[in-house]
Amino acid sequence: MLVTDPWFYITAIPAILIYGIGKGGLGGALGIIAVPMIALVISPMQAAAILLPILCVMDVFAIKVHYRNADYSLLKLMLPGAFVGIVVAGFFLSVIPTAGLSLLIGSLSLLFCLQYLLNSSNKPIVKNVWFWCALGGFSSTTIHAGGGPISIYLLPKRLNKLTLVATMAVLFGIINLIKLIPYTLLGNFDQTNLLTALVLMPLAPIGVKLGVMLLHRVSQSMVYRLCYLFLFLSGLKLFGDGIIG
């Protein structure tokens, strides 16, 4: 049986489109608002479970567009840490308070944005690729919010805008595929969640296409400004959620 609450669709449709736009061209941190938006109506865990199959479909379209421009040497460095984060999140997903995780990710994101404003060299607070990628894999598994930590690692590298977006697209395509395992083992893919995801799935390519169109219509400097802006906004939102929680 589908989720029938009309307020769910009022929040879910724009949330999915925004997530797709982020995957298509405006940076992974943009999608961090999706679960909080949908969680205004249903539980965060159900929101995350409904979103995951849709995200996997988005990944197919995003990777098809961007895979040629990805930095695969960087991906080889990033994937082991992300995998560790997914495994840890899979074990503790049912017991770790979301408020604590939100506070941690929000604090780190805001600190990075502050450093960006104060330090022209934009060196990351922590340089270790395992730290940021494990944190990205962990937060991606719990609340689909891996874009913030991964951005903290990637943005200071000053990659070409196409390389930046493509590398994140391939990385999260792999991460989301692996995440299907713990979500299945935890019983999150019941009939209601899967049918609701299926109904919303046609929005996936539309959002990605919108993101691709925007990517090719804005300058590289604008893409970076948007990424830092989304990182700040998402960090502020997560920090507030953590405090309230």
pLDDT of the chain, 245 residues: tens digit per residue: 788 899 999 999 988 988 888 777 666 566 777 777 787 788 778 888 999 999 999 999 889 888 899 999 999 999 999 999 999 999 887 777 767 767 777 787 787 777 667 765 555 555 688 999 998 999 889 878 788 788 888 888 888 878 888 898 899 999 999 999 999 998 999 999 999 999 999 999 998 888 878 777 777 567 667 667 777 877 787 788 788 86
Output the pLDDT for position 123.
56
Alpha helices in the chain (DSSP H): 6-21, 34-38, 44-66, 72-92, 98-118, 129-143, 147-154, 161-185, 191-200, 203-215, 220-244
DSSP code, position 222:
H
Output the pLDDT for position 134.
95
Report the distance separating Cα 145 and Cα 142, nearest Å.
8
The reply to whether the predicted model has a pTM over 0.85 is no
Report the distance separating Cα 98 and Cα 101, nearest Å.
5
